[in-house]
Amino acid sequence: MKKIQYFLITKSVGLYINLISYFHPEKAKHIAYSIFSQPRKGKIKNGKLPKTLQNAKQETLHYDGEAFQTYIWQGSEDIILLLHGWESNAARWKKLLNHLKPLGQTIIAIDAPAHGQSTGKEFNAPRYAEFIHVLAQKYQPKTLIGHSIGGAAIAFYLNKYPNDQIEKIVMLGAPSNFKKISDNFIQLLSLNKTVKNRLEQYYQQKFNIHIDDFAGHLFAQNFLQKAIIAHDINDPVILVEEGRQYASAWKNATYIETQGLGHSMHNKELYQKIALFIAEA
């Protein structure tokens, strides 16, 4: 029943946008982009901080009119930065933290734009990359770990802001092709060609990159950091082909293909491998 309701709602929204596009195409584009870029879940409301984050030191940073929240577990000078994905928050790292804390390094998790306790309404990989840049300048992390769009944001960040101080990268279920994400959204709402074309033009103006070139695996061809690329063969959200694209392009990457973990990628054995990877000299 819920699937039927979801189908009817998405198609009704798409029909509404398509109708507007015949009379006010720019307005239709902006409505579509707003739906595309605004998360509906992941906020931490009414100060109800998850237990995972209660023992962390909290620090709020400011960038471009927005506040974004960080959570710090203090350790050595070596810093690990954790970057969650769409409609999530820093608490998603609960299980991985159990494997990272024994390493003795400082761990910093962020609430992405429009998520957790951070402000804003818009979320995308380029915006996320700007926040990563602010954090990297302040804390100088050696390791970045990203799940889903958090991983895509890492790729966009390293492409736009090359950083030799970052030594290791972990990508979990990360998308590569922005065009594929956009096409899936357009298909979901059954948007017409007018809206599709205007959206793609808008992406190029906003992000200063053509949609066909907006692909993490293309960026990864130039990355020198050691990496673990992990993707589940049955990931229903981001197809495994995208993980394989990263792995084939990234010169110094180890590819781990799992089965049965879905998109979340929560797994004790996988997290042990990540901890060992970070601990390596």
Closest to 185 measured CA to CA, from 41, 31, 43: 31
Write down the residue that tokens 């928050």 correspond to.
89
Task: Identify whether 43 is part of a domain.
Answer: no
Global pTM value: 0.94
Do 137 and 73 share a structural domain?
A: yes
- Domain extent at residue 166: 53-177+215-281
Task: Identify whether 42 is part of a domain.
Answer: no
Do 225 and 88 share a structural domain?
A: yes
Rounded mean pLDDT of 30-57? 92
Do 261 and 134 share a structural domain?
A: yes
Task: Identify whether 113 is part of a domain.
Answer: yes
pLDDT score for 13: 87
Do 207 and 164 share a structural domain?
A: no
Write down the residue that tokens 């398509």 correspond to.
18
Do 239 and 129 share a structural domain?
A: yes
Q: How many CA atoms lie within 13 A of 20 on its CB side?
A: 17
Say if residue 8's pLDDT is above 70.
no
Domain's final residue, options 169, 186, 213? 213
Do 163 and 109 share a structural domain?
A: yes
The span from the CA of 199 to the CA of 68, in Å, is 27
Out of 6-20, 100-114, 188-202, pick the least confident.
Answer: 6-20
pLDDT, one tens digit per residue, over 131-147 is 999 999 999 999 999 99
pLDDT, one tens digit per residue, over 192-244 is 999 999 999 999 999 999 999 999 999 999 999 999 999 999 999 999 999 99
Do 141 and 193 share a structural domain?
A: no
Total of domains in the chain: 2
